[in-house]
Amino acid sequence: MTAARDRPRLALLDASKSDHTRRNFRRELDADLVEFDVTDNDRPAGFDFDGVVITGSRTSVYWDRDWIRPLVDYVAAAHERGLPILGVCYGHQVLASALGGRVEDMGEYEIGYREIRKLEDDDLFEGIPESFTAFTTHSDVVTELPPDAELLAENDYGVHAFRCGDAWGVQFHPEYDRDTAATVTKGKDLPDERIQSVLEGIDRDNYEAACRTKRLFENFTSHVRRVREAPAQ
């Protein structure tokens, strides 16, 4: 853990309505989190943060909900002001939409511990293998990257990570513990045999392999500190 005076102050934009989400991000992020339930239209009044993190959600970014467009607009404005941003799963899709990309229903579900290929060396993925295991759960996918974005990781379901300046999106869930993975899986409207297959894969070996992706949280907060400490232009 870093010294208290060195801890970044991050806005956590929670779109999940799930008890486990904030617990997981509090555990993984060595930062002071200011938490907002964006599904209740609770958003930061300004940009007095060192960075922004956007969580997963059960909604789709293209749905008609009164809180989604304002969330996307806030993320776009935060990016314009140069705040480092990390979007996870739904947050990855929000970020893509905010910066001019496209998100669509992929017509199927990716869920469980899956292999993902790293395509480029990048600060966020420092210390993470070229091929890595991560827990996934999504039926939407980024089908068009934002202008000037760099594709960082993918698998046979599509885009799993991209970067645009100081903003990153990751489709997978590096924050999940085994209990969260099991709880989320049991809540899906999928055939029983598929649910059972995914649950059987939530074992110690897969979880320990996926824990290597948690390194990206340390990498993100290190980048946030570098941006915060850089001389003003």
Residues that are catalytic: 89, 173, 175
* 190 vs 174: CA distance, rounded Å: 23
Contacts of 28 (CB under 8 A, 6+ apart): 174, 175, 214, 217
Angle, helices 192-200/178-186, rounded to nearest 10 degrees: 180
End-to-end CA gap in the chain: 30
* 12 vs 229: CA distance, rounded Å: 21
Q: Which long-range contacts (CB under 8 A, 24 or more apart) does 29-37 make?
A: 29/53, 29/217, 29/220, 29/221, 30/1, 30/2, 30/217, 30/218, 30/221, 31/7, 31/221, 31/224, 32/7, 32/8, 34/9, 34/10, 36/11, 36/12
